[in-house]
Amino acid sequence: MKLLYWLDEWLTLPQDEQQTRLPISGGDLLGDVFVKYHFIDINKPLLFTFSPAGTNYQEHDLNDDFSPWGFQLAQKQHVNVISFQHLGISNWFRHRNLLFFLEQLAPLLTPFTQRLGYGLSRGGFAVGAFANLLKLDKVLLFHPVSTKNKALAPWDDRSSTDIAQQFDWEQDYHDLDLGNAKGYIIYDPTNRIDRGHAKRYSQLTHLRVFGMGHSTHATYLNKFGFYKQVAVDFISHQQVDIAQFRLQTKTLRFKEDYYRRLNKANAKSAHRQVLLSKAHNILIDEKAAHVQEHQAKIDIQPLIDVALKHQDEHPKDAIQLLEVAQQLAPDDPLVEHKLKQLK
pLDDT at 288: 53
Are residues 176 and 132 in contact, defined by beta-carbon separation less than 8 angstroms? no
pLDDT lower than 70: segments of the chain: 211-226, 250-299
**Whole-prediction pTM value?**
0.74
Q: What pLDDT does residue 267 have?
A: 56
Return the number of other C-beta atoms located less than 10 Å from residue 173's C-beta.
Answer: 19
Each domain of the chain, given as residue ranges in start order, spans 2-241, 253-342
- With beta carbons less than 8 A apart as the criterion, state whether 60 and 66 touch: no
DSSP assigned state of 56:
-
What superfamily does domain 2-241 belong to in CATH?
Alpha/Beta hydrolase fold, catalytic domain (3.40.50.1820)
**pLDDT at res. 130:** 98
Q: What is the pLDDT of residue 246?
A: 81
Residue 84, number of CB atoms within 10 A of its CB: 27
